[in-house]
Structure 1
Amino acid sequence: MTGRRLASTISTHRLRGLVAVLPLIAALLFAPRPAAADESGVSFWLPGQFSSFAAVPGDPGWSLPVVYFHSSTEAGRGRSFPVGGRITAGLDVTADLLFLAPGYVFEAPLAGGRASLGITGLFGRVKVGVDATLTGPGGNTVTGSQSDSLTSVGDLYPVASLRWNDGNHNYLAYTMAGVPVGSYEVGRLANLGTNHWSLDAGGGYTYLDPKKGHEFSAVLGFTYNWENSDTQYQNGTSAHLDWAASQFLSEQIHVGLAGYFYYQITGDSGAGAVLGDFKSRVSGIGPQVGYFFPMGGHKAYVNLRGYYEFDARNRPEGWNVWLTLAIPLGSAKP
């Protein structure tokens, strides 16, 4: 492979990874995913949103990343979680979500970098089971296992980013918000909305050597959450690190590893936080493979990666799979 051809292939890649994906693209149960801590054992941020090429500037114009996300997580009945105004024992969550994250990369430079704007929406199904509900929204005690499922839409996640390139080194600054418009109901076990605003910001780095085919990316961010007014529960501030490393086997295919660390810095608070600060953490690692291919005169990209979770505290843990397709919709130039 030639360095010029590989660099050209990679420069057309525009993938935000979200939250959606943004969004993180997000945990994933009641916001855009199931697998976090905080209220319901779920966080705004879905670990693993960012992966390879996270800081590489994209080509000017529109693009449409499409992400399918599957997650299966659980926590033993000896662990309690606040869910929808209830205190539950044990938690078993399965989610199948589809994220759509249209975005636009501006051609004119901004502060020496390339700016982009996007928004992520989601549609999917989540199924939640608990071993026992210890207390209900009205303070009544309920026993016995329960389950609930929901197929609906989730919150919206606008994002703005700025990327710089300096040879093999690439840099990223981003900010993302959580807009609580998703399906949510107090007392319901399964929700696809958080019912509170969130704001996330951070930065990242990608090392990309086109001649040797080496790539490494890491993105560090911090999330602040506002209170859920219906449950008087406020998730604490959290930090998250997504990383990925890969090697090109040809001009089109790269393989490697991806992982994440999620750690809650401050405890949960509010009248609804009856379990105390309920700080959470989780880590994940797994394989990935990516492939560039032509589409309508542009280069499209597909990536498959999976994570096995470990070292979880105050949140369910399990495994999740991401299938991402980045579709170029046309150049900004005529």
Structure 2
Amino acid sequence: MNKTKRHLLGLATLLPAVLAQADDGGISFWLPGQFGALAAAPTEPGWSLPLIYYHLSAEDDANKGIPRGGRTTFGLDAKADLLFAFPTYTFAEPLLGAQAAIALGAAVARSEANVDATLTGPRGRNFSGGTDDSLKGASDLYLLGTLKWNQGVHNFMVYSMGNIPVGAYDPDRLVNIGLGHASLDAGGGYTWFDKKNEFSAVAGITYNWENTDTDYQNGIDAHLDLSASHFITDQTHLGLVGYVFHQVTGDSGSGAVLGDFKSKVSAIGPQAGHFFKVGKALWYTNLKGYYEFDAKNRPEGWNAWLTLVVPLSE
């Protein structure tokens, strides 16, 4: 595989956090699976436009209460569809010997959920029986920065990502698209790549500020994204992806009625990527899916990502 293809594939890992709900709903600021194939590999300098469609289907344990939007719910069944545009600029001049890139993005989304029972509601109101909710709107704004170093088959990366909480959010709703508070995530990654095979691992930590609408502060989260793939031709690669998510400190605040409520989840699934030409430009698409298991205090299900990377600079 030539240098241009390697650089273009790296752009597919510049993904935003999506389905922005609080840990009090069992969903984190960091969406596991954001980093994938060739995550730490350098990218081509200039502008690019990754477009990401994300679909989620997940359920809670019907026998265990989950704090969500200021209420405690049982038996959540949730689905969400999000479409992101994430313009990215990669600098040609090195910074600290590394290649620097910045990206700013947001999504339009539709989320829906229903629950078997709601026992306590926001601001002290009481509910019983099942209820459902759906919402269409825009997400928060997400800013991502990366630094990448290349040494032959070895590639290293550090990154930081945060949000500006301006998305559709209402503490009285069962579902939200905006997060309702600020968060900051940072970490590092490694990619081994010999032009035919790649292995990537990216680990990070998330800090969450308090949600003043619900008096709830999510704990610190740790996460690991994994990818391994083989190029069966110069244009196509196949492989596996996975992730591990683990909350390392408990939730806090007067709204944390269920205590520290630490969550965790793991997942594994297939991936496929392909390069194709549009005019003289080389585009890239990737499809990957995750099946979740070993969840605790967090919805469990499956999710799929379809990414299209459009190069805007020659």
The two structures have a TM-score, normalised by structure 1, of 0.91
- Whether 1:281 aligns to 2:264 is yes
TM-superposed deviation, 1:296: 4.2
Other structure's SS at 2:40 match: coil
Q: Does 1:10 align with 2:10?
A: no
For structure 2, the 5+ residue unaligned runs are none
Alignment map for 1:88-103 (pairs within 5 Å) = 88-103=73-88
The alpha-carbon deviation at position 142 of structure 1 amounts to 1.4
Deviation at 1:11, TM superposition (A): 2.6
On the 8 A contact 2:9/2:37 being kept in 1, the answer is: no
Once the two structures are superposed, the pairs formed by residues 306-325 of structure 1 within 5 Å of their partners are 306-325=289-308
CA offset at residue 140 of structure 1? 3.1
- Residue 330 of structure 1 aligns with which residue? 313
**Is 2:65 aligned against 1:80?**
yes
Report if the CA contact (8 A) 1:83-1:187 is conserved: no
Residues 117-146 of structure 1: per-residue CA shift (max 9 Å, x gap): 111201110001111110111323311100
Shift of 1:88: 1.1
1:284-299 aligned within 5 A: 284-299=267-282
CA contact (8 A) 1:214 1:248 kept: yes
TM-score, normalized by length of structure 2? 0.97
- Report sequence identity in percent: 54
In 2, the alpha carbon distance for the partners of 1:274 and 1:8 equals 52
Higher mean C-alpha displacement, 117-126 vs 287-296: 287-296
Alignment length (residue pairs): 314
Distance 2:219 2:279 in 1: 45
Opposite residue 124 of structure 2, the aligned amino acid is: G
> 8 Å contact 2:12–2:309 — kept in the other structure?
no
Q: Distance in 1 between matches of 2:7 and 2:144?
A: 21
RMSD over equivalenced CA pairs, Å: 1.3
Partner of 1:136: 121
Conserved in 2, the CA contact under 8 Å of 1:121 and 1:155?
yes
Q: Which deviates further from its counterpart, 66-75 or 287-296?
A: 287-296
| 2:5 counterpart SS class | helix
1:167 corresponds to which of 136, 148, 152:
152
Query: Could you tell me how far 1:16 is from its partner in structure 2?
Result: 4.7
2:289 partner letter: G
Q: What one-letter code is carried by the residue in structure 2 that aligns with 1:159?
A: L
Answer yes or no: is the 8 Å Cα contact 2:12–2:307 preserved in 1.
Answer: no
Q: Tell me which residue corresponds to 2:109.
A: 124
Q: How far off its partner does 1:13 sit?
A: 2.8
For 2:291 and 2:76, the matched residues in 1 are separated by 18
Aligned residue number for residue 22 of structure 1: 16
1:87 offset after TM fit, Å? 1.1
